[in-house]
Amino acid sequence: MEDIIRIENLCRNFVVGSETVHALRNVSFSIRPGEFVTIMGTSGSGKSTLLNILGCLDTPTSGEYYLDGMSVRKMGANDRASYRNLKIGFIFQSYNLLAKTTALENVELPLLYNPAYTRRMRREKALEALKAVGLEHRIFHRSNQMSGGQQQRVAIARAMVNDPVILLADEATGNLDTRTSYEILALFQRLHAEGRTLIFVTHNPEIAEFSSRNILLRDGHIIEDTRNSRIGSAQKVLDSLPKETN
């Protein structure tokens, strides 16, 4: 099968004043469709930088990035925007919801930039995604009226709403309690089972157990790339957790 993501000698430098920060140094790897990859590493190791490039939000200083066989470097800004709209779901570490905007409107947003969706389809899809993250009772809450965990779940719903081929998450469970984390993880595993490609940045080693592959970064290098043959089930962990009464 063709690689869905292939990066070759990716470098990303940031110039801060007179200093150059090498956030990524010659990173190369390929990801096949249907893989669930966790990217781990200490803070500052370049995880977010890598994920931003994979999400077409940032451009590398050098190196190649092939998305679905196409060179992202050679794409125009509009093509990259189309890719983000149609094929990629991105979950930010800091949620990045629209201020003072309801959960429903936030989740509908990607579909508003896709003319293929009618008003009704948009709403149906958004409600479906909000239900999947357990926020069906909070659809008219505004972003400033929600807790961090709720906002993160809205962000996850928004990333899923366009049925992306690739779902990229930057510490998506960082602000969630254990139970909700496993709920989200179980959701991701269901998406994985559907055949979607997932890339999950985390600093929590436990999460790696639930993915099919784990890449470890340090100082902008890949120092470990391991496949996991014994994938745990988040749903089972979830079932074993004591039930909460809401």
Ligand X SMILES: Nc1ncnc2c1ncn2[C@@H]1O[C@H](COP(=O)(O)OP(=O)(O)O)[C@@H](O)[C@H]1O
Q: Is 113 in the site for ligand X (CB under 6 A)?
A: no
- What are the φ and ψ backbone dihedral angles of 50, each rounded to 5 degrees? -65, -45
Q: Is 48 in the site for ligand X (CB under 6 A)?
A: yes
Residue from 36, 65, 66, 90 touching other proteins (CB under 8 A): that is: 90
Contact 120, 93 (CB under 8 A): no
- The residue nearest Mg ion at its CB is 48
Least Å from the CB of residue 152 to Mg ion: 14
Q: Interface residues for ligand X in 10-29 (CB under 6 A)?
A: 14, 16, 21, 23
Among Mg ion, other proteins, ligand X, none, residue 158 binds (CB under 5-8 Å by kind): other proteins
Residue from 48, 52, 181, 189 touching Mg ion (CB under 5 A): that is: 48
The whole-angstrom separation of Cα 200 and Cα 185 is: 10
Among ligand X, other proteins, Mg ion, none, residue 44 binds (CB under 5-8 Å by kind): ligand X
Please state, in angstroms and as integers, the Cα–Cα distance from residue 9 to each residue in 100, 120, 124, following that order: 41, 44, 42
17/115 with CB nearer ligand X: 17
Site residues, Mg ion (CB under 5 A):
48
